[in-house]
Amino acid sequence: MNQAQRGRPRDTRIDERVLRAAATLLLRHGYAGLSIEEVAERAGVAKTTLYRRWPTKDHLAVAVVAHLQDEDDITDTGDIRRDLSDYTEKIATALNRLRSAGRPAGQDNRSAGVVAELVAAGARHDDIGRMGRHNYARRNALAVALIERARERGQLRADLDPLVLLDQLAGALYYRVLITGAPVDRHYAEQLVATALDGAANRKEAPRP
Amino acid sequence: MNQAQRGRPRDTRIDERVLRAAATLLLRHGYAGLSIEEVAERAGVAKTTLYRRWPTKDHLAVAVVAHLQDEDDITDTGDIRRDLSDYTEKIATALNRLRSAGRPAGQDNRSAGVVAELVAAGARHDDIGRMGRHNYARRNALAVALIERARERGQLRADLDPLVLLDQLAGALYYRVLITGAPVDRHYAEQLVATALDGAANRKEAPRP
């Protein structure tokens, strides 16, 4: 939920329509293909209404992504290995969708695409940066709660900082998409979670001095 | 080393002068403060020479960062916990330097700054994206070798994929800088390495069915 939405609870349906139209355009045509004019037309909303809520295309794009993230549930089955694998895979799927937005299907392109554009928008505009960080803090709080419950059940170490585990899972995905260009998928999500839970150290050896 | 350098081994000293001048400007004034004109003047090189090697400011900036990364050694003391903490801290220091480049000292700003600009440049220009990924592959190969040696010494699991561990360490740092805006420092580097090596799962419990 962005600043504007919070102040105008009655306008939720307009927001919803605008964000859905914008999401369609962004995912189909990429960042360059997201035009405020076309979003207004598709959503049947005056351009001025749109600009009042999202002063620039960058603002709108960040709101769209927060909206898309909210569609992904975080499931707590009690099996933390499975739940974290599912959650990590969902992030991977969302990143792949944004990464390939606006590109011909099947094109072998390792560019970060829209993901990089959003990161740059956050660095260009302080208010977008704050909005983005707010969205992530809100989303990550759900995953932190999932990890905390598993910790309380004794499945995770008592001294584990949930945010560090989350950084290692989500961070690895963003690093691949934004920096190394390596692929992210279900297999990688499971490999990540296994490595994070079981640890990289060799337990078979006696502890080193 | 970029494409142009590879073809012109004799020009290394000019490259070195240009990259050093550009690094100074980039770190002092940020992305906006990096001007090809000023770099050429400081390096005592004709602008045309500069443009032949780096056709845009984006190209030059990515080359500068690769050059800065090369100044950081990777140390192998035989103590993988310490070596990975040192390596992770070096990445954190480099990211903090780029993140705060061009900002007034002491300013509380969680923006990713130049780091985000570089990521966006890589997404905007295919050749820069390839160059950036090539630089990271080259750098990461050194860290992978460090991890492999520790694995051979029996300090790390025999089935560990070194790239996954590396993604978890470097990825967590980039995620904080680019996405959540959380701080990265020596303490965090050590916490990251400890969590990655020891694993998040509770070993005191009997293995779950």
**pLDDT for residue B111:** 85
- How many angstroms away from the CA of A141 is the closest CA of chain B? 12
Task: Give ipTM to 2 decimals.
Answer: 0.90
**pLDDT for residue B110:** 82
Buried b (16+ CB within 10 A) or exposed e, B100-128: bbbeeeeeeebbbbbbbbbbbbbbbbeeb
Total Cβ atoms within 10 A of residue A188: 20
Cβ separation B119–A122 shorter than 8 A: no
Report the distance separating Cα A36 and Cα A123, nearest Å: 21
For A81, the token pair is 């290995």
Q: Is A196's Cβ below 8 Å from some Cβ in B?
A: yes
What does the pLDDT look like over A129-167, one tens digit per residue?
999 999 999 999 999 999 999 999 999 999 999 999 999
> Between vectors from CA A87 to CA A85 and to CA A92, what angle results, nearest 5°?
90
**pLDDT for residue A1:** 46
User: Would you say B23 and B64 are in contact if contact means Cβ atoms under 8 Å apart?
Assistant: yes
Mutation for testing the A interface, residue in B178, B184, B191, B204 having most A CBs under 10 Å = B178
3-class SS at B165?
A: helix
Top CATH class of B74-198 equals mainly alpha
Sign of CA dihedral B129, B131, B134, B140: negative
Q: What is the greatest pairwise CA distance in chain B?
A: 69
Total Cβ atoms within 10 A of residue B158: 9
Stated pTM of the model: 0.90
**pLDDT for residue B106:** 67
Query: For a pLDDT cut of 70, what percent of chain B falls above it?
Result: 91
User: Would you say A168 and B167 are in contact if contact means Cβ atoms under 8 Å apart?
Assistant: no
Cβ separation A129–B182 shorter than 8 A: no
Q: What is the mean pLDDT of residues B151-163?
A: 97
Cβ separation B174–A171 shorter than 8 A: yes
Q: The domain B11-66 belongs to what CATH superfamily?
A: Homeodomain-like (1.10.10.60)
Report the distance separating Cα A169 and Cα B77, nearest Å: 28
Q: Is A94's Cβ below 8 Å from some Cβ in B?
A: no
What does the pLDDT look like over A22-49, one tens digit per residue?
999 999 999 888 999 999 999 999 999 9
Report the distance separating Cα A132 and Cα B116, nearest Å: 13
What does the pLDDT look like over B86-114, one tens digit per residue?
999 999 999 999 999 988 776 667 888 89
Cβ separation B198–A157 shorter than 8 A: yes
User: Would you say A15 and A53 are in contact if contact means Cβ atoms under 8 Å apart?
Assistant: yes
For A172, the token pair is 């690895």
Mutation for testing the B interface, residue in A100, A168, A177 having most B CBs under 10 Å = A168
Cβ separation B167–A175 shorter than 8 A: yes
Cβ separation B119–A111 shorter than 8 A: no
Partner A, chain B 117-156, Cβ-Cβ below 8 Å? 117, 119-120, 122-124, 126, 129, 132-133, 136-137, 140, 151, 154-156
| B24 burial type by CB count under 10 A (0-12 exposed, 13-18 middle, 19+ buried) | middle
Domain definitions of chain B by residue range: 11-66, 74-198
